[in-house]
Amino acid sequence: MADELASSTQRPGTPAAVIHPCAVDAGRGAAWWGEGWRLFTPAVGPWILIVVIGFVLNVVLAFIPVLGSIASQLLFPLFVGGMMLGCRAIDRGEPLTVGHLFAGFGPTAGPLLIVGLIYIVAAIAITLLVVALVVAFFGVAVLSQLWSMQNPVSDSAALGGMALIVLVGLLLFLLLYLPLVMAVWFAPALVVLQGVEPWTAMKLSLVGSIKNILPFLIYGVVWIVLAIVATIPLLLGWLVLGPMAVASLYASYCDIFEHPEDASVPSV
């Protein structure tokens, strides 16, 4: 198994010049979910087992204060990278196994950890910057006065002030956090499937995401609808939607970064 997983990756250091993220039609955003279903159906049992194991691991880490959250964010790219190798295996007609969940801990573990570390540092920096901007906009005196009130609910002005502060802070955070999500979105796939260096992979991921804003908007709308449907039957639908989401990520990566003219790399 280790040899098979190693052979699915390229050596780290693939020149970024040979990788050209392209813009695809807006309708591909919905088609990625169809590809996700195609990659889910050949291995329903292993997919569901992987979801259960991943859920258990997240619950265990959640019970470890602070360090558990950091570990979860740091290891997330490794698990995603492993699942990209799993999707590649299915795409080649090979079997998906639980071992693919941990395949990212192989030769590309170092670069994937760097992606996770960059994400954590950037997320902390964004949070601190948002706090600083909110303080600069509203002033320390105003903030301390609002937060020190005994019963702000009874004071409509105070309640409105708190709501405004929270709204401004949330909008600022989303404005700065969204590019970070875009930079991380395709990075694990680029690292494990094309051997791209971590920082370069994040830059390519950001460019590829920006070029495909419309497809991702449609993708997100479909995601919301499917998430609602999956949540209704006691969350059991996530046993299917979880694998589909992972496989749809792989499909979008192939669509944007692996072009048909590149005969050496199979595309979806």
**Which of 240, 248, 245, 265 lies closest to 52, judged by CA?**
240
Mean pLDDT of 70-99: 96
The answer to whether 118 and 157 have CB atoms below 8 angstroms apart is no
The pLDDT assigned to 166 comes to 78
The answer to whether 113 and 77 have CB atoms below 8 angstroms apart is yes
Q: How far, in Å, CA of 102 to CA of 106, rounded?
A: 8
Instruction: Kindly report which listed range (37-46, 186-195, 231-240) carries the lowest average pLDDT score.
Output: 231-240
pLDDT digits (tens, 9 = 90+) for 115-169: 999 999 999 999 999 988 888 877 765 556 556 555 555 556 556 667 777 788 8
- Name 108's Cβ contacts closer than 8 Å, sequence gap at least 6: 9, 12, 81, 191, 192, 195
The pLDDT assigned to 137 comes to 79
Q: Please determine, for residue 10, whether its predicted confidence score (pLDDT) is greater than 90.
A: no
The pLDDT assigned to 144 comes to 64
Q: What is the domain partition of the chain in residue ranges?
A: 2-257
Q: Please determine, for residue 111, whether its predicted confidence score (pLDDT) is greater than 80.
A: yes
Task: Return the percentage of the chain with pLDDT > 70, whole number.
Answer: 81
In angstroms, how far is the first alpha carbon of the chain from the final one?
A: 23
The answer to whether 192 and 186 have CB atoms below 8 angstroms apart is no
The pLDDT assigned to 19 comes to 81
Mean pLDDT of 47-64: 94
The pLDDT assigned to 158 comes to 59
Q: Please determine, for residue 80, whether its predicted confidence score (pLDDT) is greater than 50.
A: yes
The pLDDT assigned to 83 comes to 97
pTM here is: 0.85
The pLDDT assigned to 72 comes to 93
